[in-house]
Structure 1
Amino acid sequence: MSKRLLLGIVIVLLITNIATLLFWNKGETVVVEEDVKVRTNGPVASIDGESISFEDWMRDLRHANGKQQLKTMIDRTAVKKLAKKNKIEVPDKVVDRELALLTSMQGIMTKEEMEEKEAGWREDIRYRYQLEALLTKDVAIDEQKIKEFYDTYKNQYNFKAAMQMSHIVVEDKDVAEKVVKELDDGASFDLLAREYSIDEDSKKDGGYLGFITTTSQFFPSEYETVADKMKAHSYSEPIKVDKGFSILYLHQKLPSIEFTYDEIKPYVKSELALQEQGQSLTADPLWDKLDIEWIFEEK
């Protein structure tokens, strides 16, 4: 091999190594949250000139949450496997009822936000009910005790239909039609309510009324008639009400969900069994039923 060729190879290798070194020194860009990126060799915060590095941040996160997060992942996988093995399924109706309760405790959410949360909620609800069933499947509870408990608290297992609404109340139809025209042009319902509404109780909240059960005395009959025909995330034409005219915004509807004794009996039984045993809702007792190995295992 000629000296000229050998020298060329050495130069190429040297340039390649320098480029590689520069690349690694620059660090990688990672996404830590939507629209939030950081370089792995840079700081994530600075306090009066003193920086907190990405590496230090990651180390503290691992120490603080790494073990618990891994345990949570193991718990969920274990429950899923044992539930499948024992043929423990949670009917959609039960999940829907829990989902309705969770939703009714939330504020205003977009359709996209709701869909994103709903997926996680459904998974959490199934996990909880399957865990309860696995922890109590070998515990015997007297049938009469289950029935008595159900008769006393059966209403708490049902969900009453509700609508999440906002409204803008104005004094006359001309103003109401003006508001609707501005909504058609893309104006914010929240801002228009703050500007035009004469309902002082809801005006400061952008006209928001929250979730109202359709059987409530505070649910105007005119609203139910109109809202029943509306689609979620839409507004109405002016509605004649006592104070003048109202424009209604329907965020979403939650249907009525009711259970028979036989439908809810397994879940009442699990609830009573947990109480009787003084058992906390943890998957720890289930670990012995599977071959589980993890890096934090005690030696």
Structure 2
Amino acid sequence: MSKKLLLSIIVVLLITNVATMLLWRNDQSNESALDDETIDTDKPVASIGGKDISYTDWMKALKSNYGENQLKSMVDQQVVKTLAKQNGITVSDKVIKRDIALLTTMQGVTSETKLKELEQKWTEDITYRYQLEALLAKDITVSDDEVQTYYTKYDGQYQFNESVQLSHILVSDMETAEKVYSELEDGATFSLLAKEYSIDEATKDNGGYLGFNSVDTEFLPDNYFDIVEGLEEYSYSEPFVTTNGIAILYLHKSLPEITFTFDELKPYIRNELALQASNQNLIADRLWDELDIKWIYGE
């Protein structure tokens, strides 16, 4: 398996974990209105065709189906946090920003508020992942030569290229472009105007969305990036001439370049190589033995 593919799988697994945690948190937020004061535990929590589901049966089902896994996840988080503090293990802000940037590029169009919420949760999960790696790898020997060789070969996969998230409306003449721009200025929605006016068949049905593009991409006209430099996030440009027609750009998100030196990446590569060499899964189970843990599902 190539290292690039392996990195992609790791990122996908991280996203899956993040999504699961977000869904759980969402469920918790929905349940927050149902506190002890609003639920009469002596009455059924649901009734279907005269057949009742009691509060007790509901609680038993929750504990049986979700309780152990959720409690274990909470214990894992606290175990890693506690041991990381004891061992002085921290995660570089720069590494966290790089991983957040990677995760951001895998999002579709996201509001500024929602993205900030995601970034906060991602920060927690990224920190947990790297601290767990460091704890599992701390007693495994990896030579500096091995780390240097790996870095020399795969350096590029750890760097992040400047990227922008764009949508566009492409029309055939300036008169139409000015009409579209006027409607934007009057408060019309960019994506709806793209569906109505854009001649780019590949993107119009998706509101003109172009996704995230690295600034060295060959798939967009060069002057798109010249225009982007003058835009703020969540804003649109005036009409401008391109090789394909007249365009109006919308900049959703701009992500700066993030690059690392060998010394900055060395501890993270060392941990990765250590776990590969020992064929360890990225789970916290064996760390439980280092702390005095008691929980309702056993010792």
What TM-score results when the alignment is normalised by the length of structure 1?
0.84
Question: Are the structure 2 counterparts of residues 235 and 128 from structure 1 closer, same or farther at C-alpha, using a change threshold of 3 Å?
Answer: same
Task: Return the letter of the residue paired with 1:235.
Answer: Y
- Residue 91 (structure 2) aligns with: 90
Contact 2:44 2:52 in 1 (8 A): no
- Deviations 1:194-237 (CA, angstroms, capped at 9, x unpaired): 00000001011110000000001113221101111211111111
Residue 252 of structure 1 pairs with residue 261 of structure 2? no
Cα distance between partner residues in 1 of 2:211 and 2:122: 20
Output the amino acid matched with 1:226.
Answer: I
Q: Which has the higher strand share?
A: 1
Cα pair distance change 1:184/1:148, threshold 3 Å: same
Runs of at least 4 residues off by over 2 Å: 31-46, 48-59
- Structure 1 residue 133, shift from structure 2 partner: 0.4
Q: Is the 8 A contact 1:213 1:219 kept in 2?
A: no
* Aligned-partner Cα distance in 1 for 2:273–2:84: 20
In 2, are the aligned partners of 1:172 and 1:245 still within 8 Å (CA)?
A: yes
> In structure 1, what is the equivalent of residue 271 of structure 2?
270
Letter in 1 for 2:163: A
Please state whether the residue corresponding to 1:204 is helix, strand or coil: helix
Please list the CA deviations of residues 124-177 of structure 1 after superposition, one character each: whole Å capped at 9, or x if unmatched.
000100010011111111211111111111111011111000000011111111
Cα offset, 1:78, TM superposition: 1.2
Partner of 2:183: 182
Q: Name the structure 2 match of 1:170.
A: 171
Cα distance 1:231–1:42, how it changes in 2: closer, same or farther (>3 A)?
Answer: farther
Q: How many residues align?
A: 267
Show the counterpart of 2:129: 128
Unaligned runs of 5+ in 2: 1-26
Q: Deviations over 1:33-56 (max 9, x none)?
A: 55996664455585x775656654
Show the counterpart of 1:22: none
Residues of 1 paired with 2:190 and 2:55: CA distance?
42
- The 1:181/1:69 distance shift into structure 2, 3 A limit, reads same
Structure with max Cα Rg:
1
Q: 1:191 to 1:49 in 2, by over 3 A?
A: farther
- Whether 1:106 and 2:107 are equivalent positions in the alignment is yes
Alpha-carbon spacing, 1:45–1:179, altered in 2? closer, same or farther (3 Å) = farther
Matched, 1:237 2:241: no
Name 2:24's counterpart in structure 1: none
* Distance in 2 (alpha carbons) for counterparts of 1:66 and 1:44: 21
- Mark the CA change 1:208 to 1:36 in structure 2 (over 3 Å): closer, same or farther: farther
Structure 2 matches for 1:1-150, cutoff 5 A?
33-34=29-30, 40=39, 41=43, 43=45, 46=48, 56-150=57-151
TM-score by length of 2: 0.84
> Structure 2 vs 1, CA of residues 252 and 44 (structure 1 numbering), >3 Å: closer, same or farther?
farther
In the alignment, structure 1 segments of 5+ residues that lack a partner are: 1-30
Distance change in 2, residues 1:230/1:271 (3 Å): same
Task: Find the residue that maps to 1:74 and give its secondary structure.
Answer: helix
How far apart, CA to CA, are the structure 1 residues paired with 2:164 and 2:50? 52
Distance apart, 1:32 and its partner CA: 5.9
Over 3 Å counting, the alpha-carbon distance change for 1:168 and 1:278 in structure 2 is: same
Distance 1:36 1:269, change over 3 A: closer
Cα deviation for residue 59 of structure 1 reads 2.9
- Matched residues in 1 for 2:221 and 2:88: separation? 46
Structure 1 residue 114: Cα displacement? 0.2
SS at match of 2:166: strand
Q: Which amino acid aligns with 1:104?
A: T
Partner SS state of residue 200, structure 1:
coil
Q: Is the 8 A contact 1:42 1:53 kept in 2?
A: yes
Residue of structure 1 in register with 2:218 after alignment? 217
Distance between the aligned counterparts of 1:45 and 1:191, measured in 2? 43
State the Cα RMSD in Å: 2.1
Q: Which one-letter code corresponds to 2:93 in the other structure? A: D
Question: For 2:160, what is the secondary structure of its paired residue?
Answer: coil
Q: What is the SS of the residue equivalent to 1:262?
A: helix
Give the corresponding residue for 2:297: 296
